[in-house]
Amino acid sequence: MATKVLVVDDSSFFRRRVSEIVNQDDDLEVVGVAVNGQEAIDMAEKLKPQVITMDIEMPVMDGITAVRKIMATNPTPILMFSSLTHDGAKATLDALDAGALDFLPKRFEDIASKKEEAIKLLQLRVKTLGRRRLYKPLPRTVTARNAADAANPASLRTTLASKPALNNRSQANNSQASSAQNVCSASAIRASGKKYKALLIGTSTGGPVALQKVLTAFPANYPHPILLIQHMPAAFTPAFASRLNSLCQITVKEAQNGDVLQPGCAYLAPGGMQLMVERSGSFGRLKVIAGNAEMNYKPSVDITFASASKVFGGDVLAVVLTGMGADGREGARMLKAAGATIWAQDEASCVVYGMPQAVTVAGLSTHSIAIDSMAESIIKETARG
Taking each helix axis as running N to C, give the angle between helix 329-337 and helix 354-361, from 0 to 180 degrees, rounded to the nearest 10. Answer: 40
Distance from chain centroid for Cα 349: 11
Q: Could you tell me the sign of the dihedral formed by the alpha carbons of 110, 116, 117, 118, in that order?
A: positive
Residue 121: its pLDDT value, please? Answer: 93
Q: Which residue in 19, 204, 349, 377 is the catalytic one? A: 204
Q: What is the pLDDT along the chain (385 residues), one digit of tens a residue?
A: 899 999 999 999 999 999 999 999 999 999 999 999 999 999 999 999 999 999 999 999 999 999 999 999 999 999 999 998 888 999 999 999 999 999 999 988 888 778 899 999 999 999 999 988 775 554 443 333 333 333 333 332 332 223 333 333 333 344 344 434 567 766 666 777 899 999 999 999 999 999 999 999 999 999 999 999 999 999 999 999 999 999 999 999 999 999 999 999 999 999 999 999 999 877 799 999 997 777 789 999 999 999 999 999 999 999 999 999 999 999 999 999 999 999 999 999 999 999 999 999 999 999 999 999 999 999 999 987 5
Specify the amino acid at residue 281. G
Measure the CA–CA gap between 345 and 39, rounded to whole angstroms. Answer: 36
Respond yes or no: is residue 231 known to be catalytic. yes
Respond yes or no: is residue 246 known to be catalytic. no
Residue pair 28/5 in contact by the 8 Å Cβ criterion: yes
Q: Which residue in 327, 365, 367, 372 is the catalytic one? A: 327
Measure the CA–CA gap between 31 and 220, rounded to whole angstroms. Answer: 49
For residue 174, give every residue at least 6 positions away whose Cβ sits within 8 Å of its Cβ, in sequence order, or none. Answer: none
Buried residues in 238-276 as b, exposed as e (16+ CB within 10 A):
bbbbbbbbeebbbbbebbeeebebebbbbbbbbbebbbb
CA angle 234, 344, 207 (to 5 degrees): 30
Residue pair 62/29 in contact by the 8 Å Cβ criterion: no
Measure the CA–CA gap between 314 and 84, rounded to whole angstroms. Answer: 38
Buried residues in 51-79 as b, exposed as e (16+ CB within 10 A):
bbbbbbebeeebbbbbbbbbbeebbbbbb
Kindly report the pTM of this predicted structure.
Answer: 0.86
Task: Single out the residue of 228, 254, 209 nearest to residue 71, CA to CA.
Answer: 209
For residue 308, give every residue at least 6 positions away whose Cβ sits within 8 Å of its Cβ, in sequence order, or none. Answer: 198, 200, 227, 277, 316, 318, 331, 335
- Strands (DSSP E) contained in 106-242 are 183-184, 198-203, 226-230
Measure the CA–CA gap between 53 and 44, rounded to whole angstroms. Answer: 11
Respond yes or no: is residue 204 known to be catalytic. yes
Residue 209: its pLDDT value, please? Answer: 96
Q: Which residue in 231, 302, 346, 349 is the catalytic one? A: 231
